[in-house]
Amino acid sequence: MAGERALVIGASGGIGSALAEALEGRGVAVTRLSRTADGLDVTDEASVEAALAPLEGPFARIVIATGALAAAGATPEKTIRELDPAALAAQFAVNAIGPALVLKHVWRLIPRDRPSVTAVLSARVGSIGDNRLGGWYSYRAAKAAVNQLVHTAAIELARSHREAVLVALHPGTVATSFTADYAGRHKTVPPAEAAANLLTVIDSLTPADTGRFFDWKGDPVPW
């Protein structure tokens, strides 16, 4: 992968930073963008456009590693009675609309004449078919929405970028500040391990996989 270029959106977060470092360790030239370092606010299209407009492609790897478990200060709901419209809207803004806006503006940076992978970090709890525990209404719904957005965009991308792959990826439960208050009994892995797992999956993808949803082991996750 030496000599390739990659773009990591959300590169100041635990997973995003680890992915950028892992790619750089392979000799990949990584462009990092984040709210912390660059003021990139994925919920504001003007901010997304301003951050991405100066970039020149193509990028063989694009990873959108943004998101939040608790948006607008709200905690995940245990019951429908806790549902708050503002919290639901905030979850959609950061976890669904945000990645969609990034996809809109990175489209021109995806190569047309060579293989590439664009990955959006999602979460297994966004799977409708795998939902057996309930709860977490806002977060589940927002992640289900981003999965649909990725799947739909992949159909469009395939028409003009025949060698491109666009997927949603579940990284597992990673030991970051993002999950510190919610991991509970779930086994967590360090960000560096999660990044290595995700890159192994990304490296294995072919155009036949575009539009799908995979976990950190490379196993398909049901919609």
3-state secondary structure 74-116: CCCCCCHHHCCHHHHHHHHHHHHHHHHHHHHHHHHHCCCCCCE
CB 199 within 8 A of CB 25: no
pLDDT at residue 72 is higher than 90: no
Q: What residue segments make up the domains of the chain, in order of their start?
A: 5-215
Average pLDDT along the chain: 94
Query: Pairing relation of β-strands 164-170 and 116-121?
Result: parallel
E strand or H helix that includes residue 64? strand 61-64
Q: Residue 177: its pLDDT value, please?
A: 57
Kindly list the distances between the CA atom of residue 109 and the CA atoms of 20, 66, 121, in Å, as whole numbers in the listed order.
Answer: 18, 18, 19
CB 65 within 8 A of CB 8: yes
Q: Residue 70: its pLDDT value, please?
A: 82
Classify the C-alpha dihedral 149-210-214-22 as positive or negative. negative
**Residue 68 CA, distance from chain mean position:** 11
Pick the CATH number of 5-215 from 1.10.510.10, 3.30.413.10, 3.40.50.720, 3.40.50.300: 3.40.50.720
Contacts of 180 (CB under 8 A, 6+ apart): none
Mapped onto helix, strand or coil, the DSSP state of residue 8 is strand
pLDDT tens, residue by residue, 37-63: 999 999 999 999 999 999 998 999 999
Question: Exposed, middle or buried by CB within 10 Å (0-12, 13-18, 19+), for 181?
Answer: exposed
pLDDT at residue 67 is higher than 70: yes
- In the chain the first and final C-alpha atoms are separated, in Å, by 31
Q: Residue 209: its pLDDT value, please?
A: 98
Q: What residues form DSSP beta bridges with 9?
A: 33, 64
Question: Exposed, middle or buried by CB within 10 Å (0-12, 13-18, 19+), for 120?
Answer: buried
Mapped onto helix, strand or coil, the DSSP state of residue 201 is helix
Q: Which among 139, 104, 111 is positioned nearest to 124, based on CA atoms?
A: 139
pLDDT tens, residue by residue, 113-150: 999 999 999 999 999 999 999 999 999 999 999 999 99
- Give the position of tokens 């060579």: 114
Q: Residue 102: its pLDDT value, please?
A: 98
pLDDT band at 168 (very low <50, low <70, confident <90, very high): very high
Q: Residue 74: its pLDDT value, please?
A: 82
Q: Residue 175: its pLDDT value, please?
A: 83
- Give the position of tokens 């510190």: 180
